[in-house]
Structure 1
Amino acid sequence: MIRRWRHLALVLALVTPAPALAADDAVVEAPAGSLRGSEDRGIRVFKGIPYAAAPAGERRWRPPAEPAAWDGVRDATKFGAACMQPRPRAANIYAGDLPAMSEDCLSLNIWAPKDARGAPVFLWIHGGSLTAGSGAEPLYDGRALAKRGLVVVSINYRLGALGYLAHPELSAESPDRVSGNYGLLDQIAALEWVNRNIGAFGGDGGNVTIAGESAGALSVMYLMAAPQARGLFHKAIAQSAYMVSAPGLRTAINGMVPAEEQGKGLAAKLGATDLAALRAMPAEEIASEAPAKGFFPFPSVDGQVVPHQLVETFDKGEQAPVPILAGFNSGEIRSLRFLLPKAPADAAAYEAAIRAGYGELADLFLARYPAKAIDESMLAATRDAMYGWTSERLVSNQSALGQRSYYYLFDHGYPAMQEWNLHAFHAAELPYVFGTATRTPPLWPKIPDTLAEKKLSDAMTDYWAGFAATGTPRAKDQPDWPDYADQRGFMHFSDAPRAGHNLFPGVSALHEAVVCRRRAAGDIPWNWNVGIVSPPLPPKVSGCQ
């Protein structure tokens, strides 16, 4: 890891009162080197800054290394290459243009108020199933948040098999005897870079919020659990996170093939007889072929970067003790229907499948997800089992640590979204948080240019910026956001923000009971088999409903 400058950087941050600006206000003298960005209407932007080097080719699949130094003033006006990933094969609402791709992709981007001094830092981790995405996506433009006084950072990290492959030969050559989790190590390296350098851009390395959506929110949870990330951030935002079961590095747990065995299987399918052959393969081929061969990137429980299953870490209270803002969208699965199994023939078949899978909990399940509305019930059940349960678990766990915890439901719709039956779909909150309604991907349902939409976006941007600054989300002329500890307080974002209490009574308890029994059984994943595809519920054990 890139850690040896951290202590020195902390000392320098305490004695350096202001960013080191050159005569040209778009030039910054940072510990990493001199950088020239651009400035527009009071916001300075720096793009494509290398925070680490990704070992490539014959050194591929190693922890991030220190980036190469540079002489003189480095141009920082263009985004860096995206990390290697498959090109989208079909049109979808999330697809947009990517910059050039490369294994040399570990860069970050910064948006900072021109006059920033000790400003709160908001570090964004993009989503994309740990397979796709880039910190350069227009949807994540940081200007609106920077105008609220934040220094915004977006990052790239290794993806897919190039970021998460574990393999016995890789573990054997590692000093720690582990492999995989390289994308997570990249994120930690980015936080270390921010810790050392962000003061030069007007940011406060002692007030950093990590934030992400979907796989970015998954990453936020793993950073909260990672001992190596402790102290590098001070608040967390998790939008549509999913605390699903993860494979062990070498051990078969929760019905999942060990990560090293998955890596061996992928190598065989790619025709690579050993690690040297894998490293000799073009990165483009690995990135495009691994998904087609059934490889799904995921952090693995290695006992070091990922000490335990997330649920275990959070149950033990061993996660980072920081304030959290977490929530989900009412229509998460409307744009992710691949997560649903084929619908049963009729209501009788639906009910029979639920009773077979959920046993004595079937009545509770059917009361919440009735057979009379199969499609809506399947959408809601999968949403609640993955995103709803995770979000409430996060705020509940942090609240138990005595941390401020803020819970939300995004439930907003507009004409184009409704026309496509995508009400409050997965990631629909992003343009409201970032104030990027005009910068969505080409096929994204077009957001109307109306005062009502702008007011909702301004409110959400304010709330997120307020939380990043102080740990309490506040927005101008909007209701106070109740802490989750106050009768399960939450904020409902529909046509306007409305504070409430006790969202979906009993739902999280139902899914927690299912997860608890599956965890106790030890041989069943707990989130990918919801509703009609649920295996028979394990017997009730002590501590589980």
Structure 2
Amino acid sequence: MQSDGKRCMGRENVTIFVAWLCAILIALGVVRSASAGERPEVTVEQGRLLGTQIGALRVFKGVPYALPPIGAQRWRAPAAPAHWNGTRDAGVFGASCVQPPYPSTSVYFEAPRPMSEDCLTLNIWSPKEARKAPVIVWIHGGALLRGTSASPMYDGREFARRGIVFVSVNYRLGILGWLAHPGLSAEAPDRVSGNYGLLDQIAALEWVKRNVGAFGGDPANVTVMGESAGALSISYLLASSRARGLFTKAIVQSTNARAVPHLREAVFGLPTAETIGTAFASAAGAANVQDLRAMDAAVLTSIALKTGFVSQPIMDGILIPDQLVNIFDRGQQTKVPVLAGFNSGEIRSQRTLIPQIPDDPAGYEAAIAERYGDLAPAYLKLYPASDIAVSQLVSTRDIVYGWATERLVRTMAAADQPSYLYIFDHCNAATRARDLCAFHASELPFAFGLAGDPNSTPPNWPKANTEDIRLARNMVDYWASFATTGVPHADGAPAWPDYGKREAYIRFTAAPNVGLNPEPGMFELHEDVMRRRRANGQQWFLNGAPIVPHDTPGHSHAEK
């Protein structure tokens, strides 16, 4: 079909006056020209956006949701974005947030993209005719240190083709997103610092609530979705009252529930977050916050990497009032339906997480007996000495991801929320050849429906096959239907029962398979470990210290 401009100017019987009038109307924007007509426009609170039309989809990229956190705005809560005059081009991704690169040999390596502190942007894929469509807001992973919404793996087109308005978000990373410091706390209105990346995510959700209707989305039907650090972020969004009312469902892929530092109190064997920040400033040669703000962002990021700064949420008493496990134990989290899972081979691409332990059977069993005491028999039943290499992979997976994920699903089910658990256990020939079966993040091309597209995964990623394409279709259908209705459904695939009292789940192998009680005894063992360590004031995450015996005075097995 011709544009209004072509119809107006192309008729054979048009008079010179009508042609002249049409040209004036086109110049004034009352009638769009053919080239402009190929690009959709929407109006958001800051002004007009010019996007891209891809078939039946509209795509808008690099849309600011907050002021750039540069200069004096570095290490401050995100501020409302500026308005602009005219129409802003939203045809390309914004800059990625400042971060160190992955090693070129890493399975997660992607070609470098432009980086800047001016990175608080989001991207929207929407069906052309969307009206009150469900919304997904994607929060990327990368250890809160790396990652970008511009990754081809996070293309939202398959969700949009299923009627979803899909939004992906950048947020501050590394030292720029998670630094606490006494000087920063002193200048903040609430006298706390850190958690800037989490504040960015909340600001993005607030922007979505105010503006997603312009793209055909329903602000009352928003699902947050994230993997790894993005999944951890969602766990904290569920725990923070500041995020309440900004989403109605959550998809959580490979989260954890470790203890994190308190802003000003040493807890669970961890130094205070302000102590960590003060040590970083000293290592950077900065006497105060002003000196830190004067330093180049890339230099700060490099120093943080060399000094081992850990990007992580901070228990500040306001945004994050307590440890995750305590908030969920007390039922103080936001109550929404959840779909959550982990991968069977998570640690195959994260082997640095595996604790040092003897690799001979006798030494292995002795080390487990020393660390786990009366829990050692249960541990060795799950992770036997008969294959120590596999046991180390599986036990580390469960300590980091498996227990935390099942705990999230259990507590939500106990709060009468529909809760769905999965284990991604798929492995094709290319992945098996590299000993990466079901590695950390390997579910992403499937959950996005992109497996089989060679341009959607990083260059070192194992290549897909036909079997992968079928499974990807099932998984993105489950994810999209959950975001739409709260119940995961896929045509031609099994009905996905909620976790409930039967501990039901789906295991994704070559196809989805329904089962019960996914890893018998796993949750119970690590829950007991966490409770004992928590009662003794210990970090329970990858802690090789001996566990307090069950009958130690002052220990309460049922402590909440």
Give the letter for the 1:407 counterpart. L
Partner of 2:341: 327
TM-score in terms of structure 2 length: 0.91
Matches within 5 A, 1:4-403: 24=37, 26-403=40-417
Report Cα offsets for 1:196-225 as digits up to 9, x if no partner. 000000000000000100000000000011
Give the letter for the 2:65 counterpart. Y
Partner of 1:535: 546
Partner of 1:14: none
TM-score in terms of structure 1 length: 0.93
Aligned 8 A contact 2:347 2:393 in 1: yes
Aligned 8 A contact 1:484 1:490 in 2: yes
- Please give the alpha-carbon distance, in whole angstroms, between the structure 2 residues aligned to 1:346 and 1:534: 20
Aligned 8 A contact 1:22 1:28 in 2: no
Helix, strand or coil at the partner of 1:457? helix
Structure 1 range deviating more: 205-214 or 333-342: 333-342
Helix, strand or coil at the partner of 1:83? coil
Aligned 8 A contact 1:146 1:152 in 2: yes
- Deviation of residue 163 (structure 1)? 0.2
- Deviation of residue 46 (structure 1)? 0.4
Aligned 8 A contact 2:423 2:507 in 1: yes
Give the letter for the 1:230 counterpart. R
Partner of 2:12: none
Partner of 2:511: 496
- Deviation of residue 87 (structure 1)? 2.1
Give the letter for the 2:523 counterpart. S
Aligned 8 A contact 2:103 2:109 in 1: no
Aligned 8 A contact 2:281 2:288 in 1: yes
- Deviation of residue 36 (structure 1)? 0.6
Report Cα offsets for 1:315-358 as digits up to 9, x if no partner. 11111110000000000000000101334141111111100000
Partner of 1:483: 498
Aligned 8 A contact 1:513 1:544 in 2: no
Sequence identity percentage: 53
Equivalent pairs, count: 519
Partner of 2:463: 446
- Deviation of residue 306 (structure 1)? 0.4
Helix, strand or coil at the partner of 1:525? coil
> Higher relative contact order by CA 8 Å / sep ≥ 6: 1 or 2?
1
- Please give the alpha-carbon distance, in whole angstroms, between the structure 2 residues aligned to 1:22 and 1:371: 75
- Please give the alpha-carbon distance, in whole angstroms, between the structure 2 residues aligned to 1:289 and 1:53: 26
Give the letter for the 1:228 counterpart. R
Select 1:461's aligned residue among 476, 500, 522.
476
Are residues 466 and 455 of structure 1, via their aligned partners in 2, closer, same or farther at CA, if it must alter by over 3 Å? Answer: same
- Deviation of residue 90 (structure 1)? 4.2
Helix, strand or coil at the partner of 2:137? strand
Aligned 8 A contact 1:54 1:63 in 2: no
Aligned 8 A contact 1:151 1:203 in 2: yes
- Deviation of residue 60 (structure 1)? 1.5
Are residues 22 and 313 of structure 1, via their aligned partners in 2, closer, same or farther at CA, if it must alter by over 3 Å? Answer: farther
Partner of 2:489: 474
Partner of 2:10: none
- Please give the alpha-carbon distance, in whole angstroms, between the structure 2 residues aligned to 1:90 and 1:526: 33
Give the letter for the 1:518 counterpart. R
- Please give the alpha-carbon distance, in whole angstroms, between the structure 2 residues aligned to 1:64 and 1:486: 42
Aligned 8 A contact 1:354 1:534 in 2: no
Aligned 8 A contact 2:186 2:192 in 1: yes
- Please give the alpha-carbon distance, in whole angstroms, between the structure 2 residues aligned to 1:89 and 1:506: 37
- Deviation of residue 440 (structure 1)? 0.4
- Please give the alpha-carbon distance, in whole angstroms, between the structure 1 residues aligned to 2:31 and 2:269: 57
Partner of 2:5: none
- Please give the alpha-carbon distance, in whole angstroms, between the structure 2 residues aligned to 1:538 and 1:156: 45
Aligned 8 A contact 1:410 1:492 in 2: yes
Larger Rg: 2
Partner of 2:15: none
Report Cα offsets for 1:183-242 as digits up to 9, x if no partner. 000000000000000000000000000010000000000001111110000000110001
2:415 paired with 1:420? no
Are residues 456 and 425 of structure 1, via their aligned partners in 2, closer, same or farther at CA, if it must alter by over 3 Å? Answer: same
Structure 1 range deviating more: 318-327 or 533-542: 533-542
Which structure 1 residue ranges, 5 or more long, are not aligned?
1-20
Aligned 8 A contact 1:127 1:213 in 2: yes
- Please give the alpha-carbon distance, in whole angstroms, between the structure 2 residues aligned to 1:360 and 1:468: 43
Q: Which runs of 4+ in 1 moved over 4 A?
A: none
Aligned 8 A contact 2:97 2:148 in 1: yes
